[in-house]
Amino acid sequence: TPHTAFQNIVTCLEAGVPVVCGTTGWLDRYAEVEKLCNERKGTFFYASNYSVGVNVFFAVNRRLAELMERFPEYDVTVEETHHTQKKDAPSGTAITLAEGILGNLTRKKKWICGTTTEPDALEIASVRRSVVPGIHTVTYESEADVLSITHCAKNRCGFATGAVIAAEFVAGKKGIFSMKDLLGLE
């Protein structure tokens, strides 16, 4: 859970155990984990989402934001839909999408969960439905048209497979890694 992840990671790194983590909601302490991992010459792999498809989606999202920088008439929003048991809102995946937009679209300065009238704020809508593994949509809208990109998880298999691939990837390695390293993105 977000409340126990940090201490669990620290305990593993202090014991010399490599860590693959996908828990979100604790990232305000990420720099501490990074420092400890480097001090201990440990292994830490973090991703907000382990789906290969989602991570390619992140790369497409960043590139689309770069392209849309030239077109201020388009406003952008993010929507994420998950199962009702999801503990955080917005999801870590939605936050990663928002950060990809904010890093490449200078007219947006921050993200907000919910609606806003602030032109420099990126809206993230969080929807909860009974049995939805995860749907994420980024939408650019102008008076003339709408451009949307969406990733829809059919089940949880992709998340589990990605985590196993990540664990195999870090075997025998030291350092801090992410899905960008594993997939050779950027």
**Span 61-70, pLDDT tens digits:** 999 999 999 9
**pTM higher than the cut 0.95:** no
**pLDDT tens digits along 119-153:** 999 999 999 998 888 999 999 999 999 999 999 99
Q: Report the pLDDT value the prediction gives residue 118, as an integer from 0 to 100.
A: 96
Annotated active-site residue in 83, 86, 109, 110: 86
Q: Mark whether 35 is an active-site residue.
A: no
Q: Mark whether 108 is an active-site residue.
A: no
DSSP 167: H
CB 33 within 8 A of CB 6: yes
In the numeric block, the tokens 């859970």 are attached to 1
Amino acid at the residue 72? P
Amino acid at the residue 172? G
How many other CB atoms sit within 10 Å of the CB of residue 46? Answer: 22
Annotated active-site residue in 3, 35, 82, 110: 82
